[in-house]
Amino acid sequence: MRILGIDPGLGTTGYGIVEKAENELLLITYGGISKSPVADFSTNLLAIYQKLHQIINEFHPHCCAVENIFYHQNKKTAIIMGHVRGVAMLAAAQNQLPVFEYSPKEVKLSITGLGAASKPQVQAMVKNILHMSEVPRPEDAADALAVAVCHHHRSKILGLHKNSPALIKPSSKNPLKKFIKNI
């Protein structure tokens, strides 16, 4: 099973793909999609969508895991994050990838065993789990890889695997598929 993890961000949206092979988890790719300081908000959203669409078409993940918005006191920031998440989820849905959502606490708990783990703790565990020589950069990419690894752990618990009905692409009779194509 190949999993695309996404960490929606205001400045950089992180992505990472991992794949279950035999008894280990392999790192396929990771990186960050940085916003342009000169482009307007809608152009930056389009750039995020286009890059994620490109990544999905190049690496063919079976599913997508996205970090949920954490509670934020700044309502404007939360709304902007919601837009970025929506674009990421749309890119996955248009490619008929099932989307799974995890809270930051769930991700931290899954990766480190501690729901209140620090960013450096999560990054160090991602590095170890994926047998990387160094901590992934940018930080948003490390977070995206953590989301993908979290989904891998959760999918084992939930019994999801490559041929599971939850991971099979929607049929052509699915009204959501028709709606998405018309967007």
What residues does each domain of the chain span? 2-181
Q: Is residue 12 pLDDT above 60, yes or no? A: yes
Q: Give me Rg for the CA atoms of the chain.
A: 16
Say what the pTM is: 0.84
Catalytic residue among 24, 67, 106, 143: 67
Average pLDDT value for residue range 129-145: 94
Average pLDDT value for residue range 11-23: 92
- CA distance to 59, 112, 117, per residue, from 2 (Å): 9, 21, 26
Amino acid 156: pLDDT: 74
Amino acid 60: pLDDT: 97
Amino acid 2: pLDDT: 96
Nearest to 17 by CA among 33, 2, 39: 2
Annotated catalytic residue 67: yes
Nearest to 95 by CA among 177, 183, 155: 177
Report the C-alpha gap between 130 and 135 in whole angstroms.
Answer: 10
- CA distance to 1, 37, 105, 160, 174, per residue, from 27 (Å): 12, 30, 23, 20, 32
Please give the single-letter amino acid code of residue 141.
A
Nearest to 140 by CA among 90, 91, 88, 76: 88
Containing 4, the helix (H) or strand (E) segment is strand 2-7
Amino acid 72: pLDDT: 61
Report the C-alpha gap between 122 and 147 in whole angstroms.
Answer: 10
- CA distance to 148, 170, 172, 182, per residue, from 7 (Å): 10, 24, 29, 27
Q: Is residue 169 pLDDT above 60, yes or no? A: no
Annotated catalytic residue 140: yes
Q: How confident is the model at residue 181 (pLDDT cuts 50, 70, 90)?
A: very low
Catalytic residue among 19, 101, 106, 140: 140
For the structural domain made of 2-181, what CATH number should be given? Answer: 3.30.420.10
